[in-house]
Amino acid sequence: MMTLLTNTHGLMHALSGAALAVSDEAGHAAGHASGPVAQTFAAGPMFGLLVVALPLLACILCGLCAMGRVKTKLPAFLTVLCLAGSFLVTLALYLQHHGQPAGTAWIIQGFEWIRLDYRQMVDSVVQSRSFIANFGLYVDSLTCLWMLFVTGLATLIALYASEYMSHDVGQGYNRFFAAFSLFVFSMACLVMADNLVLLYLGWEGVGLCSYLLIGYFYKKPSAVAAAKKAFILNRIGDLGLALGIMLCYVHFGSVEYKVIFEKCAPYMASLAAGQLDQIPLIAQFIPLCLMIGAFGKSAQLPLYVWLPDAMEGPTPVSALIHAATMVTAGVFLIARTYPLFLMSEYALPIVAWVGALTALLAATIGMAQFDIKRIMAYSTVSQLGYMFAGLAVLTSVGGAAHVFTHAFFKAMLFLACGAVMHGFAGQLDLRKLSGVGSMPGWRVVGIAMLVGCLNLAGFPIITAGFWSKDMILGEAFANSQMQAIGWILLLTAGLTAYYTFRVYFRVFVGPKHYEPGDEHHGDDHGHDHGHGHADGHDEGHQTSGKHGFHPHAPGWAINTVLATLAVAAFVIVPLVALNHGGWVKDMVGASSAQFNEKAAYLIAAKGDLHTKFFGFDAHKAMMVVSSIVGLIGIAVAFVLHYQGRTTAATSKADALLPAFGPIAKWAQNKWYVDEFYNAIVRMPLLALAQIFHWFDKLVIDGLVDFFGWTPRGLGGSLRPAQSGEMHTYAVGMAGGLAVMAVVVIVVLM
Amino acid sequence: MAIGDMMMMGSGLMGSVLAQAAPPAAMSDVHLAHYLFVACVMFVIGLIGFLTRRNLIIMFLCTDLMFQAAGVALIAFSRYHLNHTGETFTIVLITVAAAEAAMALALVVLLFRKKESLDAEEWTELKG
Amino acid sequence: MNLFLNPFVLYSLVALGAVGVSLALPRRGVNPQVLGGIIAGTAAGLVILMLGVRAVGDGAGLVNPFFYVFGIAAIASGLRMVTHPKPVYAALYFTLTILATAGLFLILASEFMAFALVIVYAGAILITYLFVIMLASQSGKESAEEGLAAYDTESREPVISTVACFVLLAALLTLTFRGVKEMGPGANIAQSAAVIDRLPGKAERALIDAGVIASGDKVEVFSGKSQVANVRKADGTVVEVSAASAGSKWPKSLEVENVEGLGFTLLKDHPGIIEIAGVVLLMAMLGAVVLSRKQVQFDEDQKVAQSRRLREETARL
């Protein structure tokens, strides 16, 4: 109770500070003006290990359920229970950690995991060294922030999935929840690791679970292909991460954050003194390697193509893994190793450009898609680009805040789309659905969708998405080096608002119309639809369905989760809005992702972090400008897709398409990026593989066959000599002996 | 003592049956060649017989003829070198010949029981 | 090449022998066995004759004349053994070969081996052969060629085999007729003489027979080289007796006999041979017993019946 009060006090403090901050003229710099908080390390409470252990327990229990062929919802129950427990433990951990002085990083020692002692020759002196990677947790405020929304959302989505996956009870249900729990465990390892190797374990673990869950409908070829695509593209990124970790060990002699951050301190001092050349080149390479890993996992250019395909997995998976948590692992990695990224002159600008271009590209593709889940997927890619850009334009607070808000509203959007998909037999085409929000039983879904869309579109003031996006935009424009980034992001914001509300106006409002998807017949792969199940919540079924089809309105679990998320989306507004980042700023600012202002100036290299936006303070101007851009986007969507629309299939936008010429078609075809990759990577590899295949078949196999056939042919030609008659052999022997004797004599004499 | 007298006619016999024989004397190469010629011819005749005759029993007799040829050569060398090593090996030779004869005849009996024939060409199971 | 015979003559005679032997081998139809035998015998005889001439020419003197008897007998009976179509006769000719070989052994001063050969070969092995021949051929007919099986009357590829074998013979004779001078004799005489020193009992008997020492005296040490013996008298005194002190009564020579020498060498230098020979003979005996045992064949029904009977008896017990 006391700790809860303390927390309330903290929130109140943030709220009361807001008024001051708004009136503060220099408030735009609040994200970093307070200066770095010194990091201190201490041993943490052991119960923190439960955060990691409980999902693992859930995974094991689900595995036991699978072994016992449980045909009930027991695994879902267990998973929700364990994940909720994990969330509560995280909350307790957070509250206890909150009571510590700012900048405290707890290290909770689990057990000794990897320890390699060896001797190494260093400058002709043999030194004993050891490679240590413990199963230890590193708990600072950044960890708390991430784990709170990871475990919280995971709990809610598990609850949602318990209903969503109900048709698979007894089939893949156990498998689904086992992988789900394993994912949360891996994510917890990734986020809470106190060293890069454990992070790598979690990183690979989430990749594995992602693979397993994308390929959940393993009888469906497209799902299998998507799973493989995700896995293989992530391998490319993971190679970069692995190289980065190796470089870290080579350079810092440790993979533990504590040691790395301590050894970074002198570099930070050099940075502050403006002596970038004092930092060894090898250290400057580390962020470049780590960045590749982050791009792979967080679906950034050029490795983003797996994420839209990953929507083949069940929707809860898309919501949790491919929208809210796993894909933010790249953002987390950069935030966690922010000091390393500050050490390189090029790392953050590269991240900024990659992020901004990804954001724009994905938004343009998203505008032209018709599959609402895919639109959400591209939106995720786009928003991840935002987050990267945010980190890179030196507002780690903004990046983290956007992760935080995005996790809520994007999960909600996905879950709402999933509810639609669930109810309309897999129908996701926005041309075939209309007015869903006003159908009976779909009200909660409609409202949740609206809240999510408002957040994503950045509707001014009342949405959390607006505040987090604004932080990034403002900081981009405030940075004289990042003006171009700012403009790209601003354009993206407008496009985002448009395509978001395009979905909303097409699907959730307007004339009522639906065509069911094709997943109620030819049900050979057991896809996620649920009619025909007497699961007690079919009051929402519409009677006027075509072909006798009844939409399947969501039940209590889905509605509860959506409602909770919708409320949460508003509850978190003050956490990011007040005091220029509010609670999130406190959390991030006291962690390793804290921002070193002097270093930033240096990185901005002769640049200015207080650039004016057409004579106005960039942050304040952005609030207005981004609001206007967002509203314009919404308005355009309203005019084109809602006003006067009478059918589901057509809208006024169709008439505008010819004006864009081929561009619309290109965008619809995702700018042919997949085809491009196919041509420059896959085809040459395939050709090479063919060459090797034939080389193997002709040369290698030919050689082997040759060695096989030679004795065979020889034997075949000599076989007649083996008549089996003793005399023949004896004559041969005697003749041979005679010849040998003659030869020996002739040679000797 | 006829044999003894007969032996006395040889030149320089070592240790005749009579202790009072002439002292051992070397045997010339040409004399050795006489015995070796007989040994070689016997061996080759045995070999020819082995190769050409088809009766299993005669084939084994031919191998015994070859054994005899080897024995003659060994004894001749033993005499030539004035030691007993060659004779020692002749003992081995007789042993092996006896063993071979026993085994071979057992085989012949076995084979004859199966095919009622002593023709070696009946048996072609070694065919490759 | 320095052979005892002119190589050209030698090889011609070998070729002649080949022709003779190939003619002498049994075959169907025209069968010039007698002619072949004569040709082959002529060739062999010429070689032996020329060797004798060479021996006389070298000053070594003619070889022991019994060599001509036994050597030619061995070759001739060997050839007849190979060419005779009837196994029984072949075995008998082989007996003759063995007897001739034993004669050769005798003139080579190897009495023990000669007698062993006659006893073991002619006495034991050949009898076994004859038994098997009787057992296997079962041709009671006295008539010559007609009663014989085809495999007895017809030899297999006589020309090729003969050519191959006579090439081998030519090679062997080329080596043989070069002489073995580099291996020269004599090195072992001392060793042979030393054997007598290890057999004081033999010296004792010879000295007693010659009357040099009294019956009952013991020769303790004897040196064949210096012809000196240490003798322990009956009263226990030890005296040295030598050729010089004994004078004409001293035996002319104290030589080791063949059997003694062979036995001594066998046990001293090659003791393993006796063991190995014993084992070989034992194994051959076991092998012969196992191989020639009559196999009793049960068919499946009999086996089933047998096992059922066994089961019933077991159950009754």
Same domain, C169 and C195: no
Give me the pLDDT at residue A117, please: 87
Query: Residue C301 is part of which domain span?
Result: 271-316
In a domain, C1, yes or no: no
Find out whether A585 and A28 touch, Cβ atoms under 8 Å.
Answer: no
Say yes or no for a CB contact (<8 Å) between C179 and B33: yes
Other Cβ atoms less than 10 A from the Cβ of B26: the count is 17
CA–CA gap between residue C111 and residue C258 (Å, rounded): 7
| Cα–Cα nearest to A334, from A380, A371, A295 | A295
Of C135, C169, C185, the CB nearest to B40: C169
Could you tell me if C225 and C276 lie in one domain?
Answer: no
The stretch C108-130 carries a mean pLDDT of 89
Structure confidence at residue A603 (pLDDT): 57
Q: Left if phi > 0, otherwise alpha if psi is -120 to 50, otherwise beta: which for A615?
A: left
In a domain, C145, yes or no: yes
In DSSP terms, which residues pair with C222 in a beta bridge? C229
Q: Measured between beta carbons, which residues in chain B are less than 8 angstroms from residue A727?
A: 51, 54, 120-121
Domain assignment present for C196: yes
pLDDT of residue A606: 55
For residue C111, give the chain B residue with the closest CA.
Answer: B17
Same domain, C84 and C115: yes
| Cα separation values, C243 from A623, B14, C248, Å | 144, 22, 8
Contact C12, C166 (CB under 8 A): no
pLDDT on residue A62: 92
Using alpha carbons, select from B121, B100, B117, B99 the residue that is nearest to residue B109: B117
Does the residue C300 lie in any domain? yes
Q: Supply angle C-alpha A619, A624, A625, rounded to 5.
A: 90
Residue A439, number of CB atoms within 10 A of its CB: 18
Q: Are A389 and A355 in contact (CB under 8 A)?
A: yes
**Residues C37 and C169 grouped into a single domain:** yes
Of B52, B78, B90, the CB nearest to C157: B52
The H-or-E segment that residue A74 falls in is helix A74-98
Tell me the per-residue pLDDT of C63-93, one tens digit each, with 9 for 90 and over.
888 999 999 999 999 999 999 888 889 999 9
DSSP H helices, A393-480, are: 396-423, 443-457, 464-478
Beta bridge partners of A433: A514
β-strand pairing of A612-613 with C228-232: unpaired
In this complex, do A727 and B124 lie within 8 Å of one another by their Cβ atoms? no
Q: What is the pLDDT of residues C207-248, one digit of tens each?
A: 888 888 888 888 888 877 777 888 888 888 888 888 777 777
Note whether C159 and C89 are same-domain residues.
yes
Q: Which residues contact A659 (CB under 8 A, 6 or more apart)?
A: none
Those residues of chain A that have pLDDT short of 50 are 1-35, 520-546
Task: Say if C190 is an interface residue toward chain B (CB within 8 Å).
Answer: no
CATH number at residue C37: 1.20.120
**In the predicted model, is pLDDT for residue C187 greater than 50?**
no
N-to-C CA span, chain C:
87
Residues C206 and C169 occupy one common structural domain = no
Both C154 and C229 in a single domain? Answer: no
pLDDT of residue C301: 83
| Joined tokens for residue A30 | 């609040």
pLDDT, mean over chain C: 83
Pick the more confident residue, C72 or C186: C72
- Residue C164 has its nearest CB partner, among A735, A744, A749, at A735
What is the predicted pLDDT for the residue at A312? 86
Cα dihedral B53, B57, B61, B62 in deg (nearest 10): 20
Write out pLDDT tens, residues B33-90. Answer: 999 999 999 999 999 999 999 888 899 999 999 999 999 999 998 888 877 888 999 9
Does C159 contact chain A (CB < 8 Å)? no
Chain B nearest-CA distance from A742, in A, is: 15
Q: What whole-number distance in Å separates Cα of residue A201 and Cα of residue C233?
A: 105
Q: In angstroms, rounded to a whole number, what is the distance separating the alpha carbons of residues B33 and C60?
A: 12
Whether residues B126 and A726 touch (CB distance < 8 A) is answered with: yes
Residues C136 and C50 in one domain: yes
Question: Model confidence at C147, in pLDDT bands (50, 70, 90)?
Answer: low
- Asked if C172 and C201 sit in the same domain, the reply is no
The pairing of strands A433-434 and A513-514 is: antiparallel
Vertex B49: Cα angle to B48 and B52 (nearest 5): 80
pLDDT at C304: 86
Check if the beta carbon of residue A159 is closer than 8 Å to that of residue A80. yes
Which chain A residues contact residue B126 at CB under 8 A?
A: 722, 724-726, 729
Which residue in B38, B40, B37, B60 sits closest to B50, CA to CA? B60
For A684-693, b/e burial (b = at least 16 CB within 10 A) is eeeeeeeeee
Domain stops at, among C131, C148, C176:
C176
Q: Look at residues A225, A190, A224 and name the one whose alpha carbon lies nearest to residue A207.
A: A190
Subunits with 3+ Cβ pairs within 8 Å of C are A, B
Is C182 part of any domain? no
Distance of CA A571 to the CA centre of its chain: 24
C151 and C230 part of one domain: no
- At A205 the pLDDT is 93
Same domain, C209 and C309: no
Say if residue C83 is in the same domain as residue C206.
no
A293 close to A624: Cβ distance less than 8 angstroms:
no
Specify if C181 maps to a domain.
no
Does the pLDDT of residue B3 top 50, yes or no? no
Determine contact, residues A596/A37, Cβ cutoff 8 Å.
no
Q: Mutation test of the interface with chain C: which of B9, B16, B30, choosing the one with the most C Cβ atoms within 10 A? A: B30
C264 domain residue, yes or no: no
Q: Which residue from A721, A724, A727 is facing B51, i.e. has the nearest CB?
A: A727
**Residue C215 falls within a domain, yes or no?**
yes
Domains and CATH numbers, chain B: 27-116 (1.10.287.3510)
Place of tokens 């590899």: A685
- Interacting residues of A41 by C-beta distance below 8 A, sequence separation 6+: A104, A105, A106, A107, A258
Chain centroid offset of residue A466 CA: 21
Q: Which of C150, C176, C202 is the last residue before a domain boundary?
A: C176
Name the domain boundary from C224, C258, C292: C258
Number of domains in chain C: 3
Query: 0.90 exceeded by the pTM?
Result: no
Cα of B115 to nearest chain A Cα, Å: 16
- Interface predicted TM-score (ipTM): 0.82
Task: Report the Cα A704 to chain-centroid distance in Å.
Answer: 47
| C-beta of residue B35 within 8 angstroms of C-beta of residue B42 | no
Give pLDDT tens digits for A628-653.
999 999 999 888 888 878 877 777 77
Rounded to a whole number of angstroms, the CA Rg of chain B reads 20
